[in-house]
Structure 1
């Protein structure tokens, strides 16, 4: 079966790529969502432990994913021979996750949104978090699509076949 580069990246160099590019960033983002719920639920307690965890997680996931983004943009994206619309959309959506996640980190550090009230800050945090959830789900959905379904013809593109054992451009230990 032919895969998008998104799925190929996660399937290569097992289990490290899966852990580094999916488990850690998505796990941190899901923890951020959970702490967001508790922060809102316990809003009467201004300095709750949930708010502290939420702030910490927002900073960590923002900078972690920025590192992932930079690594992929330098080491992987330049070597990609695109496999059609689904491939471009999956990789593009995944990489675009850096915008909301880095923005959350900068918001938590006070670099952006300085003059905002607590409520406006929370609203922006929600919007950014929802933005990440949307693009990450688009990446996952289109990443699982067989690129031939969206019109890519493997025989017209340098005969490129999937070979999980020979994915040097996507391995962490180049």
Structure 2
């Protein structure tokens, strides 16, 4: 199989893996991103859109934390121990996908006032928007590398020593 573990995960067990590992996180992240733009333009921190943004933010972070823990222990550690990474392309795809937990969990913690508690509303908006931007960047890097063929760098078998 000449694909990254990222793409293999999404292609296996159709449609469930695609829904669990891609659709739900992307729908939540895009809900956050779109509502974030509305909030930034209107500065309406009390309306329905803000409530949707807050709910999606809390849910996305903890949902992705569960995904992170599941994949870290069920995929990353076993793949690493067996030396089965499919070139650095594979490592980047999976690594950046899992890195999405940092900004998404940051959004959840911010929404629950577990971080940034003493910041002004303006500062919280900036931090929230920064987390959204960071997530969009790492998710797109994961998708781009995930769609590449590991054979572009000369192989598809395991990477001994990784």
- State the Cα distance separating 1:153 from its structure 2 match: 4.9
CA contact (8 A) 1:42 1:48 kept: no
| Structure 2 Cα separation of the partners of residues 118 and 157 of structure 1 | 48
Structure in which a larger fraction of residues adopt helix? 2
- State the Cα distance separating 1:150 from its structure 2 match: 2.1
Matches within 5 A, 1:51-90: 51-80=50-79, 81-90=84-93
User: Residues 2 and 56 of structure 1: is their aligned pair in 2 closer, same or farther, counting only changes over 3 Å?
Assistant: same
- State the Cα distance separating 1:53 from its structure 2 match: 1.1
Q: Per-residue displacement from partner, 1:119-157 (whole Å, max 9, x unpaired)?
A: 100000011110000000000000000001023353x76
- Unaligned runs of 5+ residues in structure 2 are none
| Aligned counterpart in structure 1 of residue 102 of structure 2, from 88, 92, 99 | 99
- State the Cα distance separating 1:77 from its structure 2 match: 1.3
Pairing 1:129–2:132 present = yes
Indicate the structure (1 or 2) with the bigger Cα radius of gyration.
Answer: 1
Q: Which residue of 2 aligns with 1:5?
A: 5
| Runs of 4+ off more than 6 Å | none
Q: Which residue of 2 aligns with 1:21?
A: 21
CA contact (8 A) 2:87 2:159 kept: no
Give the structure-1-normalised TM-score: 0.85
